[in-house]
């Protein structure tokens, strides 16, 4: 007879503490590198997923940072689909099916984030691939661009060069070409107008790569590069006017806008801050690191996260992060909802691995944030679940609260905590963000631990789990996670 062993849920808020943070508002950058689990110190590109995790592409692997650790998968250079029309550097997209798409110099890679494994689209014959801001995926066939879901086709004009970027805004779609020209399409797929950023002399000079972002003012900002030269452009969709903001005899790298109207542009010499309202520009060539050293060159990419924090990817120093509270960048903290994300599941003290067999069965078929169902045998009864929240600005102000049935609740310290869980009780795990004397609480439902037939729950799917099976006197009963939040 099973002796009602306690289940332990490990809820952790250890995020950037691994960086050696002192005060939250420290005037410095904090480094994440190989010593912290990053696959390589050479960072090529970054992207933030919908749940807040950071995707980091290095010269060796794709790393996903969950606030505690990096989960890495080596880049398989044999599993790619040819996209001969793409001649640019690393470009990342995340689609609605939890897949990460990476374009690199004529190759398209697809990473299934649920299984952290590469997959190849064998049936594709397209020459290029795009995902717009609204989540639509497009395939390029000759001079026609087609939405993979709706089937809507956009006929591309001739004599405008190769399609390099595709951006959606409101009900319009903007197609950017290698000649510096841009075609704008309406919701029905008809071309509204064609516009050019510059004249014939510049078209060949800046024809190699393109990067387009949209600023808080509604304007598009584009970095174009050519053979040893670059140009920064802006386009106002309301006035249909272009502006040449900056030219350089070296390659500009990546660009990110902020809600305050600033642009940050990385270059081989450091980075530039550009005020889009006044045009004022400032160059920064030195970064002061926590160990007292100074980084003078090698900044490759920049990313503004959903909280207003700035991440810099370097060629040989890994990742650098600075909080919006530091004052190093002209950003401001952005309030977000903070929810726990399942990051690890432990069986008998050991973390479950995706695809590995335990007693002849693969218990974990997808990565923990995407778990929908787990089934255990009667002797697999020592479990622990680890969570984290993607709160990078105030990691030490985030703690967890749990409530047993009939209790007012208890608050755990902002660190690792253990919750004993036995049959016949319910608890409500939530995360809380402490800001001064104000407590912001984000609940994710309550879980019922039954003693006979089932463990019922009203957790929403944001926990990353839908069904969880656990033993009850030798039988397997289900934890159900109904989408409507009702008990079943």
Q: How far is CA 246 from the centre of its chain?
A: 29
Task: Give the bridge partners for 304, in sequence order.
Answer: 310
Domain made up of 7-11+337-480: CATH architecture: Sandwich (2.60)
- DSSP secondary structure, 55-113, as one string: EEEESSEEEEE-SS-EEEEE--TTS-EE-TT---S-EEEE-TTSEEEEEETTEEEEEET
pTM, whole model, 2 decimals? 0.80
pLDDT of residue 191: 96
pLDDT of residue 181: 98
Question: Hey, where are the domains in the chain?
Answer: 7-11+337-480
pLDDT of residue 418: 35
Residue found under tokens 């996670």: 481
Give the separation between CA 54 and CA 45, rounded to whole angstroms: 11
Task: Give the bridge partners for 145, in sequence order.
Answer: 140, 154
pLDDT of residue 341: 80
Q: Is 113 exposed, middle or buried (0-12, 13-18, 19+ CB in 10 A)?
A: buried
pLDDT of residue 438: 42
pLDDT of residue 4: 35
DSSP state of 328: S
pLDDT of residue 472: 30
pLDDT of residue 2: 36
Tokens of 27: 């005037």
pLDDT of residue 265: 95
Q: What b-and-e string marks burial along 276-297, b requiring 16 or more CB atoms within 10 Å of the CB? A: beeeeeeeeeebeeeeeeebee
pLDDT of residue 147: 94
Question: Consecutive 10-residue runs of the chain (488 residues): their mean pLDDT?
Answer: 35 32 49 95 95 96 93 95 93 94 96 94 88 91 93 94 95 96 95 96 93 96 93 97 94 93 91 93 82 77 93 93 87 78 84 89 89 76 76 72 52 41 38 43 37 30 34 31 26
pLDDT of residue 297: 67
pLDDT of residue 27: 55
Give the separation between CA 244 and CA 222, rounded to whole angstroms: 10
């Amino acid at each position: 007879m099973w002796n009602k062993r306690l289940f332990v849920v490990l809820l952790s808020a250890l995020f950037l503490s691994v960086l050696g943070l002192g005060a939250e508002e420290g005037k410095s950058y904090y480094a994440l590198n190989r010593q912290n689990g990053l696959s390589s110190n050479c960072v090529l590109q970054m992207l933030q997923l919908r749940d807040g995790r950071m995707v980091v592409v290095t010269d060796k692997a794709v790393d996903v940072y969950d606030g505690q650790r990096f989960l890495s998968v080596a880049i398989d250079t044999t599993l790619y689909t040819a996209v001969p029309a793409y001649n640019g550097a690393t470009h990342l997209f995340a689609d609605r099916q939890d897949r990460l798409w990476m374009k690199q110099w004529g190759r398209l890679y697809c990473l299934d984030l649920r299984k952290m494994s590469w997959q190849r689209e064998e049936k594709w014959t397209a020459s290029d691939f795009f995902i717009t801001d609204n989540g639509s995926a497009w395939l390029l066939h000759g001079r026609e661009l087609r939405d993979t879901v709706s089937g809507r086709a956009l006929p591309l004009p001739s004599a405008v060069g190769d399609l390099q970027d595709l951006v959606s805004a409101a009900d319009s779609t903007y197609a950017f070409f290698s000649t510096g020209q841009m075609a704008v399409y309406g919701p029905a797929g008809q071309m509204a107008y064609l516009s050019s950023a510059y004249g014939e002399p510049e078209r060949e000079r800046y024809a190699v790569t393109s990067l387009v972002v949209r600023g808080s003012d509604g304007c598009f900002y584009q970095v174009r590069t050519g053979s040893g030269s670059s140009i920064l452009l802006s386009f106002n969709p309301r006035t249909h006017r272009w502006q040449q903001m900056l030219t350089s005899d070296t390659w500009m790298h990546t660009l990110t806008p902020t809600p305050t109207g600033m642009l940050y542009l990385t270059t081989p010499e450091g980075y530039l801050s550009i005020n889009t309202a006044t045009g004022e520009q400032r160059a920064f060539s030195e970064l002061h690191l926590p160990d007292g050293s100074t980084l003078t060159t090698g900044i490759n990419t920049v990313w503004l996260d959903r909280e207003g924090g700035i991440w810099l990817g370097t060629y040989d120093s890994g990742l650098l992060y600075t909080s919006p509270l530091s004052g190093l960048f002209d950003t401001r903290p952005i309030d977000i909802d903070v929810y726990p994300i399942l990051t690890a599941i432990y069986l008998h003290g050991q973390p479950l691995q995706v695809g590995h067999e335990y007693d002849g069965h693969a218990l974990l078929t997808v990565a923990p944030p995407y778990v929908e169902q787990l089934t255990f045998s009667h002797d697999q009864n020592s479990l622990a679940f680890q969570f984290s929240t993607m709160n990078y600005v105030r990691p030490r102000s985030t703690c967890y609260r749990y409530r047993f049935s009939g209790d007012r609740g208890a608050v755990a310290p902002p660190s690792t905590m253990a919750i004993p869980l036995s049959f016949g009780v319910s608890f409500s795990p939530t995360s809380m963000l402490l800001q001064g004397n104000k407590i912001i609480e984000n609940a994710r439902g309550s879980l019922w631990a039954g003693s006979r037939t089932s463990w019922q729950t009203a957790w929403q799917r944001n926990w990353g789990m839908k069904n969880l099976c656990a033993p009850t006197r030798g039988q397997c009963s289900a934890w159900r996670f109904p989408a409507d939040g009702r008990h079943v």
